Amino acid sequence: MSFPFQISSREQYERDYQASIENPEKFWGEVASHFLWRKPWDKVLDWNFKEPRVEWFKGAKLNITENVIDRHLETRGEQPAIIWEPNNPDERTRVVTYNRLHKRVCQVAQMLTNLGVKKGDRVCIYMGMVPELAYAVLGCARIGAIHSVIFGGFSAQSIADRLEDTNSAYIITCDGGYRGSKDIPLKAVIDDALVGNKVVKKVIVYTRTRTPVSMIKGRDVWWEDEMEYAETQVEKDGIVSFPAVEMDAEDPLFILYTSGSTGKPKGVVHTIGGYMVWTAYTFVNVFQYREGDVYFCTADIGWITGHSYIVYGPLAVGAQSLMFEGIPTWPDAGRFWDIVDKYKVNIIYTAPTAIRSLMGFGSSPLAEKDLSSLRVLGSVGEPINEEAWHWYDENIGKSRCPIVDTWWQTETAGIMISTLAGITPSKPSWATLPLPGVEPVLVDEEGKVVTTPNEDGYFKGNLCIKTPWPGILRTTYGDHERCRTNYFATYPNLYFSGDGALKDKEGNYRITGRVDDVLNVSGHRIGTAEVENALNMHAGVIESAVVGYPHEVKGQGIYAYVIFEGKMANADLIRQDILQTVSRIIGPIAKPDKIQFVQGLPKTRSGKIMRRILRKIAEGETENLGDITTLLDPGVVEVIKNGKV
């Protein structure tokens, strides 16, 4: 399969970008014509950011699995679709061809149908990074069920909240999962999440770790048993088939939860047609994927990166997608480079957190590793700092591989601003240029477009997007008003990303970080309110405030200021108790890196916590804290400064 929408020169980028802005309907109609549609669209784009309402390929009918699997079977049936590298390097790897993927997805679709899952039902997926997770996602899509994948690090309470929000009646999980030296008891966490739940009808359990688990009669079933029966139904005389359910382009494909500035996570909804086109288009162009390349995305499918750039984007264009169960530092810090060497990886896509972590081990883990197959290096999740960029460039890319530093979000579905590998120039720590279809604008706090550069010659403001792209979120599940207020109400007729940015004279963008109350920890968005709610659940905590601070590995760390009631006989033990509380309520990913016990918080007379002051103190700034005379008790600031941890 060729990639007729692949950009091959800087001049073509300029032409395509201009065409996508001047006539998006014509541009995206031509791109979309290269996919399988059962019925063509009546209208390419219909939108209004005020409501908000966005519809792409309106009236079109399709099934996304026919695009990511079926259409490849004739030409690349025996080509690897998913290459799976297990957590333990001594365990057998698995190569899943497109033919095998087709069979397994048909079996999952039949299994789900047998268990009562119908089009439009929500299916919660809480699994380790095994190929069966991809089968589960695509099996849902084949029958029109809406999948909601939950990252394996979330707690029972977080899962229970998501089950309640989606009203999911079906769960797919594993007995356990491997992550480095740890065994994660996934089924046990699901059991805890289901205490008191009256909605869930079936829990499907895949055997991975052979951890003893509780199986409830009538509710819990084994994946292997159900799949064996389904196999007899979908395969006749060597021919595998399960008819893909016809879907509307604007039907929901999945719900994925992301943190916001309030305590409750938001269920971002992406729909089928636009998501498919956007992920395939951005994958091919950003990474400049070539026929036969081995592409390695190190993300977890529990996050949007795994959805878009392990499963849907690569498979939509018939790529070879490498899926990794483990972590970069186990059994040693050479694990990524062993995988690159073993599979002759051409493209690697990883997070700055991983890069910074591996930098700390020096060059010895790279010894005798053949990285000559690498052609493109990618970075995702947060802006990559200049030191890490140069280490990545020199030590991994040997100064010959372009680096694509990609900016995008759960809400955007795919990459928005990035270098196109080898096509447009890269600039260390800058995301650089917007992709075709993306029209960024920088505005000030009042929503006015920034037209004057600062003293450094850069335009600086809050990053918004003027017009819709095919992958834009459609709503937040069950609460469209929340979608409006979070993304479209701050600045009228604009999508507000929540990020600040700089723009240089050449039109390159550099993301400077969140401007709302959301932290970016190891590339994962965590709401400050969400962490504060968890902290306040501890019996001894009266009140708390959470801010971010620079962290040399994670990018941003979590700094918590806590007012504690009662005696502080053992502050370290109390800290551990509080951290355990946060782990139980949200998950280990949200644990504060530092907890400072304080007597009071800097508040205005109206009761608002002045987080800018707390943020500066956490960052080590103790002199230029701005005007504190408006505080109810300015003296509390000095006490907090003196007690910084």
Domains of the chain: 89-245 (3.40.50.980), 440-514 (2.30.38.10), 518-642 (3.30.300.30)
In sequence order, the β-bridge partners of residue 125 are 149, 172
Q: Is the dihedral of CA 23, 28, 34, 36 positive or negative?
A: negative
State pLDDT tens for residues 405-417.
999 999 999 999 9
Verdict on whether the full-model pTM lies above 0.95? no
| Contact criterion met (CB below 8 Å) for 80 and 134 | no
Q: Residue 41: its pLDDT value, please?
A: 98
β-pairing verdict for 376-379 and 347-350:
parallel
Calpha distance 54→475 (Å, rounded) = 9
| Contact criterion met (CB below 8 Å) for 81 and 316 | no
In sequence order, the β-bridge partners of residue 323 are 84
Give me Rg for the CA atoms of the chain.
Answer: 24
For residue 253, give the amino acid letter: L
Calpha distance 245→146 (Å, rounded) = 13
In sequence order, the β-bridge partners of residue 222 are 205
pLDDT along the chain (645 residues), means of 10: 85 98 98 98 98 98 98 97 97 98 98 98 98 98 98 91 96 97 96 97 98 97 98 94 98 91 81 98 98 97 96 98 97 97 98 92 94 98 90 97 97 98 96 98 95 93 97 97 95 95 96 82 82 89 91 91 86 93 91 94 76 88 75 86 84
Q: Residue 401: its pLDDT value, please?
A: 98
Q: Residue 1: its pLDDT value, please?
A: 45
Rounded to whole angstroms, the maximal C-alpha distance in the chain is 81
| Contact criterion met (CB below 8 Å) for 149 and 168 | no
User: Residues 6 or more apart from 402 whose CB is under 8 A from it?
Assistant: 376, 377, 419, 421, 422, 426
| Contact criterion met (CB below 8 Å) for 5 and 12 | no
Half-sphere exposure of 185 (CA within 13 A, CB side): 10
User: Which parts of 151-233 are beta strand (E)?
Assistant: 170-174, 177-179, 182-184, 202-206, 220-222
Q: Residue 20: its pLDDT value, please?
A: 98
Q: Residue 606: its pLDDT value, please?
A: 62
In the chain the first and final C-alpha atoms are separated, in Å, by: 57
Calpha distance 574→447 (Å, rounded) = 44
Q: Residue 261: its pLDDT value, please?
A: 55
Calpha distance 541→577 (Å, rounded) = 11
Calpha distance 182→361 (Å, rounded) = 21
- Tell me which residue of 250, 251, 302, 214 sits closest to 45, measured CA to CA: 250
Which tokens belong to 599?
């007597």
